[in-house]
């Protein structure tokens, strides 16, 4: 029996992000009031009271802010992926995004490494932005 990986709930706050990912674009929100980029949870930023927000495509380039190597999978669906890296990526635009680092060289990952977005298509309806090291 095949175990399918869980998918995020796509709601009104995240729909633009996931739709853009299907088209190999990384979109995050931008506050016209504070001039800050942020990922789609206004509750976690200084823009919580701002209604003056728009989605913008960003470069997809950044640096590893922090990371962990996962050896114990987050459920049976991820067993074959271990070990894998979950990282906080600080994008050039200033926002942070949590994603996976795709690499065969887990031992040589460091905070501050440059990364760029890549898009991993799961099927016709779902694509996940992940990151790879830029040498």
More confident residue, 129 or 75: 129
Cα–Cα distance for residue pair 33/17, rounded to 1 Å = 21
Global confidence as pTM: 0.89
User: What is the helix (H) or strand (E) element at residue 21, kind and residue range?
Assistant: helix 15-22
Give the pLDDT score at 123. Answer: 86
Would you tell me which CATH number, out of the four given (3.50.50.60, 1.10.600.10, 3.30.420.240, 2.40.50.840), belongs to the domain 15-133? Answer: 2.40.50.840
Asked whether the predicted pLDDT for residue 130 surpasses 80, the reply is yes
Burial 70-82 (b: 16+ CB within 10 A, else e): eeeeeeeeeeeee
Among positive and negative, which fits the CA dihedral 43, 35, 59, 109?
negative
Dist. CA 17–CA 11, nearest whole Å: 10
Question: Higher-confidence residue: 10 or 61?
Answer: 61
Summarize pLDDT for 21-34 with one digit per residue, the tens.
999 999 999 989 88
How high is the pLDDT of residue 86?
96
Taking only the tens place, the pLDDT of each residue in 58-98 is 999 999 999 999 999 888 988 999 999 999 999 999 999 99
- Candidates 55, 57, 58, 59; CA nearest to 15 is 55
Task: Kindly tell me if the per-residue pLDDT of 109 is higher than 60.
Answer: yes
The two counts, helices (H) then strands (E), for the chain are 1, 8
């Amino acid at each position: 029996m095949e175990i399918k990986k869980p998918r995020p709930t796509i709601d009104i706050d995240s729909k633009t992000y996931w739709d853009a990912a299907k088209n190999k674009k990384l979109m995050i929100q931008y506050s016209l009031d504070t001039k800050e980029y942020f990922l789609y949870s206004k509750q976690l930023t200084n823009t919580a009271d701002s209604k003056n927000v728009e989605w913008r495509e960003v470069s997809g380039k950044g640096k590893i802010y922090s990371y962990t190597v996962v050896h114990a999978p987050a459920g049976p669906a991820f067993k074959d992926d271990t070990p894998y890296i979950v990282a906080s990526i600080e994008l050039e635009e200033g926002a942070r995004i949590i994603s996976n680092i795709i690499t065969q060289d887990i031992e040589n990952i460091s905070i501050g490494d440059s990364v760029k977005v890549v898009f991993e298509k799961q099927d016709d309806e779902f694509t996940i932005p992940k990151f790879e090291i830029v040498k």
